[in-house]
């Protein structure tokens, strides 16, 4: 499994567990916990949920792109002679 895929899965897993209240405990801020707290304010202030959710999306996408780029650079079979 690629590094980018593994790291992205770990980020999503931690966010999901924190959203459900099973992750890191409350004094520590996590993106999943921020989404979980913000869902109560969704009708009046949707940006409270959208900001951490978009950050989770951006981080996982960036890690995927970086992992693909590193794999392409490191794989000697893909290099043109």
Q: Where do the domains of the chain lie?
A: 3-74
**CA distance linking residue 81 with residue 69, whole number of Å:** 19
* Sequential pLDDT tens for the chain (81 residues): 566 578 888 889 999 999 998 888 878 888 899 998 898 999 999 999 999 999 999 999 999 899 888 888 887 776 665
Residue 2 has what pLDDT?
62
Contacts 24+ apart (CB under 8 A), 35-39: none
Q: 51 and 33 in contact (C-beta within 8 Å)?
A: no
- Predicted pLDDT at 76: 72
| Unique residue bearing structure tokens 């995927």 | 64
Residues 6+ away with beta carbon under 8 Å from 10: none
> What's the pLDDT score for residue 23?
83
Q: What is the pTM of this model?
A: 0.79
């Amino acid at each position: 499994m690629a590094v980018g895929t593994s790291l992205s899965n770990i980020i999503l897993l931690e966010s999901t567990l924190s959203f459900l209240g099973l992750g890191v405990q409350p004094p520590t801020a996590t993106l999943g916990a921020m989404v979980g707290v913000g869902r109560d304010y969704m009708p009046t202030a949707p940006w409270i949920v959208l900001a951490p959710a978009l950050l989770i999306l951006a981080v996982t996408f960036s890690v995927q792109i970086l992992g693909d780029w590193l794999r392409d650079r490191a794989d000697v079979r893909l290099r043109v002679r």
